[in-house]
Amino acid sequence: MTPQDYEFLRKILKERSGLDLSSDKQYLVESRLIPLARRIGLSDIGELVQKLKVGTEPLTSEVVEAMTTNETFFFRDKIPFDHLKEAVFPALVQARASRRALRIWCAASSTGQEPYSIAMCVKEFAALAGWRVEIVATDLSQDVLEKSKAGIYSQFEVQRGLPIQLLVKYFKQTGELWQLSADIRGMVQHRQLNLLQDFSHLGTFDLIFCRNVLIYFDQDTKVGIFERLSKILEPDGVLALGAAESVVGLSDAFKPYPDRRGLYRPNAVRAPRTGSAAMPLRAVAAATR
């Protein structure tokens, strides 16, 4: 791959997905795109770039999906899910007692392990029994969303992070594969979404998981996303970021959640929010169904 080809690909990926590749990531591009090139009958990345320059939209989308499909597994990093059980859910149950409804957004949901981990946490939290809990899972890639909808995972995938008692309780084995129960799958709505674009139409949320995706964006892109996230999170809502991510030093849209690493709350000292984000949660939920 020539330096010119790499710069062309960097530019496309930055514009379309926010992925900010450094100058030393050629190996990553080659490992992801050479299989794609060969699958469509091209000999190398140079030929792939030439086809992209012609302006074929489906191929551009395939390239972006190939480069932005990232690793995920059930209950990844464990601590955020402990936070749900120990702090977030108890506080929201008390704050939403009259409403008995929650909306949760899992951004960059990939093949579904994260939103389904959240769904299982909801099911296991007795105080939420009988509540209407809506989990919205979004991702840039339609391919991973289709896999997520099916809820079918290999033995290797269910062995990574998933407690055995939850595997037995919520999955059914078919040969070497495991499928999530219809009950858990039914708790999650799937929508294709690019975080670089407007997402205010999703409505407001009580909890947003936006983990292990912002690390791929440059600083300006992160700041913009934080600003927009703050506008669709309830004033007492919670934002969960990945272990290597933080708003500190980047944005005043959020402040750290007390004694809970990786969790943040909207910063109340900022100017009042306006528009649909300020609508009552019931009204927004109804408008987005």
Quick: pLDDT tens for 61-91.
778 777 766 678 899 989 999 999 999 999 9
- 120-177 tens-digit pLDDT: 999 999 999 999 999 999 998 888 899 999 999 999 999 888 999 999 999 999 889 9
Contact 177, 252 (CB under 8 A): no
pLDDT in tens, 239-262: 999 888 888 888 999 999 988 999
Using the predicted structure, report yes or no on whether residue 27 has a pLDDT greater than 50: yes
Instruction: Kindly tell me if the per-residue pLDDT of 281 is higher than 60.
Output: no
Instruction: Using pLDDT thresholds of 50, 70 and 90, give the confidence band for residue 269.
Output: low
- Residue 212's pLDDT is what? 87
Confidence of residue 47 (pLDDT cuts 50, 70, 90): confident
Note the pLDDT of residue 213: 86
Structure confidence at residue 271 (pLDDT): 47
CATH of domain 3-68: 1.10.155.10
Supply the pLDDT for residue 287.
33
pLDDT for res 270: 52
pLDDT at 101 over 80: yes
Q: Does 21 score more than 80 pLDDT?
A: no
Q: What is the tens place of the pLDDT at every residue in 167-211?
A: 999 999 988 999 999 999 999 999 999 898 899 999 999 999 999
Among left, alpha and beta (phi > 0; psi -120 to 50; other), residue 100 is left
Q: Give the pLDDT mean for 28-45.
A: 83
Q: At what angle do helices 57-68 and 26-39 cross, to 10 degrees?
A: 130
Q: For the chain, which residues make up each domain, given as ranges?
A: 3-68, 79-288
Place of tokens 């290597």: 244
Closest alpha carbon to 197 in 221, 230, 219, 215: 221
Q: Would you say domain 79-288 falls under CATH 3.20.190.10?
A: no
| Terminal Cα-to-Cα distance of the chain (whole angstroms) | 46
- Could you read off the pLDDT of 211-222 as tens digits, one per residue? 988 887 888 889
Q: Which DSSP letter does residue 209 get?
A: E
Average pLDDT, whole number, for the chain? 86
Rounded alpha-carbon distances, angstroms, from residue 181 to 14, 222, 237: 38, 36, 29
Distance between CA 134 and CA 239 in Å, rounded?
A: 16
